[in-house]
Structure 1
Amino acid sequence: MYRVLICDPLSEEGIRPLLDAEDVEAVMNPSMSYEELLKEVSSAHAILVRSQTQVTREVIEHAKELKVIGRAGVGVDNIDLDAATENGVVVVNAPDGNTISTAEHTMAMLMSLARNIPQAYHQLQNKRWERKKFVGVELKNKTLGIVGFGRIGKEVAQRAKGHRMNVVAFDPFLTKEKADKSGVSHGSLQEVLQQADFLTVHTPLIEETKHLIDREAIQLMKPGARILNCARGGIIEEDALYEAIKSGKIAGAALDVFEEEPATEHKLLTLPEVIATPHLGASTIEAQENVATDVSYDVMELLRGGTVKHPVNMPSVSPETMEKISPYFQLSERLGAFLSRVVEGALERVNVYYSGDLLDMDTMPLTRIAVKGILQRHIGDRVNDVNAFKTASDKGIIINEHKSTSTKGFTNLVTIEIETDEEKRSVAGTLLNGLGARIVQLDQYSIDVIPEGHLVVIHHRDQPGAIGRVGNLLADHHVNIATMQVGRTILGGDAVMILTIDKEVEAVCKDALSQVAEINKVQCLTL
């Protein structure tokens, strides 16, 4: 008999699979104290939570029988993943359950924004009948710009097309071919901003998307455009949005999320052009039931020795395998992260090559980690060692693993190649005895770079004075160079320069570097 501890309020119908299972004892106690939790988990085989219960290292280490932690929702911030992995406990979540509810809420907000429904109702409550004040706009023939074309973005697009809107979408994984199959137009972020009459965002909140819609982005938009955010607070720079609405640049906004919640005193709520809800995107009976059902089935499947659909942390491997491959974890992830930040276009294929000491090893965990490193630039922590392949597959990205006898003179070599709809790029790295991870090749150029810290990648022509001008410009902007590596294939031809610097390069400095005559491209990244 498996004992499953349900710590937070969950839909009863959602956990019905657990309640009806003959081999499961479901213990529901959503109001227990932390001390009670420590006592209760001692004999639990599984724990189910939402966001209320904190599953700390202490909780996990008290649970000697624990095999799985289920999170009825997407985020796992309340679960100590490191402690779970170290103790052999699998963590599962339910990323799909609120897709429809969030898409429908976005459409409800879109129509309410277009027709001033909340404002008009508020006036009626105040016994005022003001038809002329609330003249709205039709959705037909308007352009909906969608930033983030994952599950929710696609559902919103389908509904918008039903209103005979034109839909243009941007996503780092969206190609023109994929957009055509979905019946939407494909555009760059700049093109989406410029074309949108209504703009809706559906991305995770990560470093790449923090304040993605800022002052500069808003200035690219049409006068009188409208903005929606039912995704994550922080994707839109709220001060910039406030100023744009006050100035009349933006006609209105519909917000379900804010950077800091609850947001009852937010200045955006003082503007009559803004409508808002208190983070209700996933708040439907069906969504609450769906996430509970999804995680219940995964928990039962794992307890019975099956395969789960939505694992979050790394699966266990044999101690022998772990001892062999663990030194390469950081190298694989850093190579993937590095290449994802220099390649341009929508990802279509990833090839990972292993040679030397790695030929006889089970390198699949390393490939997963490399793919995670690639995808995290755009998806953040929602992609991990376990779900990296499925996430890539969901995005239409093909993953191939190869073994090769060509070591190029190194004892071990990991090479990652990315193909996009615009180009093909590759990076190779190795572990140097006693010196750790090194990038030893970028495309056709031989280099020697430690993959960490602030890096500047410069593609330039191999001409006298180019390196000096770069050094002088960085000095003018008070940027200190820690290391410099230059790779070239022929004298006077194309070359690559990679700098390790002590602080992040500001935009004005990057622009100045781009203006140097010999420089073709400047890319700044942090690992």
Structure 2
Amino acid sequence: MKRVLICDPLSEDGIRPLLDAEEIETVVQTSMSHEELLKAVKDVEAIIVRSQTQITEEVMKHAPQLKVIGRAGVGVDNIDVDAATEHGVIVVNAPDGNTISTAEHTMAMLMSLARNIPQAYHQLKQKRWERKKFVGVELKGKTLGIVGFGRIGREVAQRAKGHRMNVIAFDPFLNDEKAEKVGVQNGSLEEVLKAADFLTVHTPLIEKTKHLINKEAIELMKPGARILNCARGGIIEEDALLEAIQSGKIAGAALDVFEEEPATEHPLLDFPEVIATPHLGASTVEAQENVATDVSYDILELLRGGTVKNPVNLPSVSSEMMEKLSPYFRLSEQLGAFLSKVVEGTLERIHVYYSGELLDVDTMPLTRISVKGILKRHIGERVNDVNAFRTASDKGIEINEQKSTSTKGFTNLITVEIETDQEKRSIAGTLLNGLGARIVQLDHYSVDVVPEGHLIVIQHTDQPGAIGRVGSLLAGHDMNIATMQVGRTNLGGDAVMVLTVDREVEGKCREELAGIADIRKVKCLNL
């Protein structure tokens, strides 16, 4: 009989599929110490957690029969996913179960913020009847700006439209056509900030979105606008929000999450313009049941020999196939990551082409990794080798894979091409014997670039002195150039310059580079 260990409190109705399975022994053992956990996992094939229990590599080493770890929720911060992959353990989560609850909580916070409901209730509990003090604003006719238009963002938009609000949204995967279908306006981040009477964020917390709503962003907003965060602490720079509340620039804020939790002593809580809840976005009976049910069914399916719906890490690959593919894993992701950082516009299609030694190999795992490298810039660690295709599909992005006998003189060649609503860009890479991964083509320019470290990609006109001006400017910023590659189409025509430098390029340096004569575009990458 297969044993499943549940380490954190879960809805009994949610784990009913496991409890009712005759071939499964489900053990519920919560609030364990680390030592108790190590003993409890020794003969289990599946572990289910919420956010309390930490599943580390040490835990996995004490669980030789472990096949799957389930997270009853979205985030997997308390699971060492890399270690799980290394140990051949599948990690699954429940990304859809709390969508409705979080959207509804956002609307509850929006209404409370507009009408000062918590503040008025608090005064009434103090035996004070102060109607004039709590005059609110109507939602009808106001503009709700939504930053992040995934599942939760879309649900919030539908509810806001029910209140006859105008909705403008920003998402790197949203274009005018998609926005029109759901009845919202598509805008840039700057346009959303400027238009919003209420601003709500629904993005993952990744490097790109950390402090996305900072002092500069808040300065773009209307005087008297209001801000909500029911997504992840850290998307909004809390010091900047505090300053904006103090100055009166922002009329109020509704926060369900903070950078550091619990946040009982947070200075924002001292201001009557701020309302807050202790991370309750997914805290409903239904959401807790949904996430438990989703994970239970996935684990049950896997233990019965089937496939899972919501895998987080790479599934097992035959040793023979792994031997052929593994040398290309890193190159595939680097090509996707590189191209995602130089292309502009909303992603529509991704094409991956293979030739040479890869003609007779199942290259689908490599395509997944390339797609992951592309999407990771916008989505972060939520996208992985397994769910990359599904994530792309959810975003309306088409994926194509093709093989060709044309190797352009290389033993093996991987070409990744991205089409957006603005442009088409491509990159090609290979593995050179003894030299490792190389980018050998960027669009139609031939180059020889190692795809790692701090890179500067410059599109310019091929004119005398261009390279010297770039070198002098970088020297002025105490920036050492490790390598430089220049590709051009013809004398005096379009050209591309790719430099590897010793440290990250700061904003001022980037701006000055873009201002050099004959330079059209500058992109700074960190691979």
Smaller-chain TM-score range? over 0.9
Shift of 1:165: 0.3
* Other-structure match for 2:279: 279
Letter in 1 for 2:479: V
Q: Name the CA distance, whole Å, in 2 between partners of 1:80 and 1:140.
A: 46
Pairwise CA distance, 1:40: 2.2
Distance apart, 1:17 and its partner CA: 0.9
Q: Whole-Å Cα distance in 2 between the matches of residues 286 and 518 of structure 1?
A: 59
Scaled by the length of structure 1, the TM-score of the pair is: 0.99
Worse-matched range after superposition: 465-474 or 161-170: 465-474
Note the C-alpha offset of 1:267.
Answer: 1.2
What are the superposed Cα offsets for residues 356-390 of structure 1, whole Å, 9 maximum, x if unpaired?
11111111111111111001101110011111111
- Which residue identity does 2:132 align to in structure 1? K
CA distance in 2, matches of 1:73, 1:170: 25
What's the CA shift string for 1:96-121, capped at 9, x where partnerless? Answer: 11100100000000010111111111
Q: Does 1:40 align with 2:40?
A: yes
Deviation at 1:403, TM superposition (A): 0.4
Question: 1:28 and 1:38 mapped to 2: Cα distance?
Answer: 15
Aligned 1:179-194 pairs, distance under 5 A: 179-194=179-194
Alignment match, 1:86? 86
Using the size of structure 2 for normalisation, the TM-score is 0.99
Aligned to 2:458: 458
TM-superposed CA distance for 1:61, in Å, is 2.0
Which deviates more, 45-54 or 194-203?
45-54
Return the letter of the residue paired with 2:358: L
1:35 offset after TM fit, Å?
A: 2.2
Distance in 2 separating the partners of 1:472 and 1:241: 39
Structure 2 residue aligned with 1:15: 15
The CA deviation string for residues 276-312 of structure 1, in whole angstroms up to 9 with x for no partner, is 1111111111111110000000000000011110011
Give 1:175's aligned amino acid: N
> Are residues 1:130 and 2:145 paired?
no
Aligned length: 527
Q: Distance in 2 between matches of 1:240 and 1:78?
A: 29
Q: Who is 1:388 aligned against? A: 388
Q: Deviations over 1:462-503 (max 9, x none)?
A: 001111111111111111111111110110011111111111
Q: 1:311 maps to which residue?
A: 311
Provide the C-alpha distance between the structure 2 equivalents of 1:383 and 1:135, rounded to a whole number of angstroms: 44
Aligned equivalent of 2:252: 252
AA paired with 1:257?
V
The residue correspondences of 1:34-433 to structure 2 (distance < 5 A) are 34-433=34-433
How much does 1:421 deviate? 1.1
Q: Which runs of 5+ in 2 are unaligned?
A: none
SS across alignment from 2:203: coil
Residue 69 of structure 1 deviates from its aligned partner by 1.0
Question: C-alpha displacement at 1:89, in angstroms?
Answer: 1.5
- Point out 4+ residue stretches in structure 1 off by more than 6 angstroms: none
> Which residue identity does 1:130 align to in structure 2?
E
Deviation for aligned residue 1:94:
0.5
Give 1:511 deviation, angstroms. Answer: 1.1
In the aligned structure 1, how far is the partner of 2:456 from the partner of 2:87? 39
Distance 2:220 2:292 in 1: 42
Paired letter, 1:380 = G
Query: CA–CA distance in 2 between the matches of 1:507 and 1:82?
Result: 33
What is the DSSP-based 3-state SS (H/G/I as helix, E as strand, rest coil) of the residue aligned with 1:65? coil
Tell me how far apart the structure 1 counterparts of residues 181 and 235 of structure 2 sit (CA, whole Å): 27
The offset of 1:127, in angstroms, is 1.4
**Tell me, what secondary structure is at the counterpart of 1:85?**
helix
Which moves more between the two structures, 99-108 or 121-130?
121-130
CA distance in 2, matches of 1:207, 1:126: 43
State the shift of 1:521 in Å. Answer: 0.7
Aligned pairs for 1:463-502 (under 5 A) are: 463-502=463-502
Distance 1:156 1:7 in 2: 33
SS in 1 for 2:492: coil
Aligned counterparts of 2:56 and 2:190: Cα–Cα separation in 1? 43
After TM superposition, give the deviation of residue 422 of structure 1 in Å: 1.1
CA distance in 2, matches of 1:513, 1:80: 41
For residues 211 and 304 of structure 2, the distance between their equivalents in structure 1, rounded to whole angstroms, comes to: 44
Q: Give, in whole Å, the separation in 2 of the partners of 1:423 and 1:303.
A: 45
Q: Distance in 2 between matches of 1:520 and 1:38?
A: 58
Alpha-carbon RMSD across the aligned residues, in angstroms, is 0.9
State the alpha-carbon separation in 1 of the partners of residues 118 and 501 from structure 2: 52
Tell me which residue corresponds to 2:516: 516
- CA–CA distance in 1 between the matches of 2:441 and 2:417? 12
